[in-house]
């Protein structure tokens, strides 16, 4: 039951005590892969995180060079020292900027730690607002995402990307309309032609529309379209979970979301309940092609689609 609950809940709100019981952080190693000139990806060990068995926590991006370090996301707070050590193996310069792709704790819980290293934190305004709300909750003292020291200090909304010019690279913070959460961001390294796309796309398990944190079905589809426009045929796309993909890999993924939405919508029109829709296993045609945790993530995905359509917030 605990595993299912972790997968279904928004990770920003998972109690630290529960997470600690399910993931042995001492066993996690931070692996480094170079993606292009000055651009790197950090990943946690596979097979240890019950929420993300492909790699512990969310992936981190690093831009390194003479102008200092820019990071994408900050991982679980329990891995902050290991992440810092991995960054230092790449570059010993100052960590100047940190941008969050979304609010979940496997992407933001280390924010306060890296702010103490000197990082200026960027994120969507909606993400900061959600952190502030968490800081006012009864369990705030035990939730590292709710630590004001880790709140973004520079925020932005929908519109033109924020651009950072450093290390002979142009980095774009591209806002994505409420998809996985209400405050999603893609980050593109123009010269390296690498695009970090957070969690609204994943090829490990089914899509996660986190309704509790502002995610929407409509935004998921719009975000996939926007991501394809931000990439070309040679762009490497780095999801927070799953494998590196190319632009055209999004097409069958989007088609699957649309097909499941159509099936669920048709069943709602027939008066079917959520239990009946789940029992119909509308994702079955895609299960064989969807790696990792399909049963639990399919229930989560179909439930979110049903709720969005039932409430008139679908396509």
d(CA 301, CA 208): 6
Q: What share of residues in the chain are helix, strand, coil (percent, to 5)?
A: 40, 20, 40
pLDDT over 70 (residue 15): no
Per the structure, the count of domains in the chain is: 1
d(CA 164, CA 21): 39
Q: Is residue 288 included in any domain, yes or no?
A: no
- What global pTM score does this model have? 0.91
Which domain does 177 fall in, by range? 2-253
> What pLDDT was estimated at residue 6?
37
Q: How many helices (H) and strands (E) does the chain have?
A: 11, 12
Q: Is residue 42 included in any domain, yes or no?
A: yes
Q: What is the CATH number of the domain that holds 63?
A: 3.60.15.10
Q: Is residue 189 included in any domain, yes or no?
A: yes
Q: Is residue 84 included in any domain, yes or no?
A: yes
What are the φ and ψ backbone dihedral angles of 18, each rounded to 5 degrees? -70, -45
Tens-place pLDDT, residues 73-127: 999 999 999 999 999 999 999 999 999 999 999 999 999 999 999 999 999 999 9
> What pLDDT was estimated at residue 20?
45
Q: Which of 269, 266, 248 is nearest to 258 (CA)?
A: 266
Q: Is residue 276 included in any domain, yes or no?
A: no
Q: Is residue 294 included in any domain, yes or no?
A: no
């Amino acid at each position: 039951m605990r595993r299912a609950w972790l997968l279904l809940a928004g990770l920003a709100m998972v109690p630290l005590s529960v997470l600690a019981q399910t993931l042995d952080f001492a066993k996690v190693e931070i692996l480094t892969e170079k993606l292009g000139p000055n651009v790197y990806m950090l990943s946690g060990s596979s097979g240890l995180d019950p929420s993300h068995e492909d790699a512990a926590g969310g992936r981190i991006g690093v831009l390194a060079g003479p102008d200092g370090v820019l990071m994408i996301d900050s991982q679980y707070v329990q891995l902050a020292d290991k992440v810092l050590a991995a960054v230092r193996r790449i570059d010993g310069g100052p960590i100047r900027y940190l941008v969050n792709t979304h609010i979940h704790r496997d992407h933001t819980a280390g924010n306060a730690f890296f702010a103490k290293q000197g990082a200026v934190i960027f994120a969507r305004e909606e993400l900061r607002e959600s952190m502030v709300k968490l800081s006012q909750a009864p369990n705030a003292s035990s939730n590292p995402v709710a630590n004001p020291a880790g709140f973004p200090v520079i925020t932005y909304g929908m519109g033109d990307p924020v651009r950072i010019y450093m290390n002979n690279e142009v980095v774009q913070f591209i806002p994505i309309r409420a998809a996985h959460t209400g405050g999603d961001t893609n980050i593109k390294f123009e010269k390296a032609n690498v695009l970090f796309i957070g969690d609204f796309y994943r090829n490990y398990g089914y899509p996660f529309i986190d309704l509790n944190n502002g995610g929407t079905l409509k935004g998921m589809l719009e975000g996939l379209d926007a991501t394809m426009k931000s990439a070309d045929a040679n762009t490497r796309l780095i999801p927070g979970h799953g494998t590196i993909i190319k632009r055209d890999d999004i097409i069958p993924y989007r088609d699957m979301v649309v097909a499941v939405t159509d099936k669920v919508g048709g069943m709602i029109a027939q008066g079917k309940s959520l239990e009946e829709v789940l029992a119909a296993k509308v994702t079955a045609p895609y299960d064989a092609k969807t790696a990792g945790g399909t049963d639990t993530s399919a229930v989560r995905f179909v439930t979110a689609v049903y709720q969005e359509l039932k409430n008139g917030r679908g396509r």
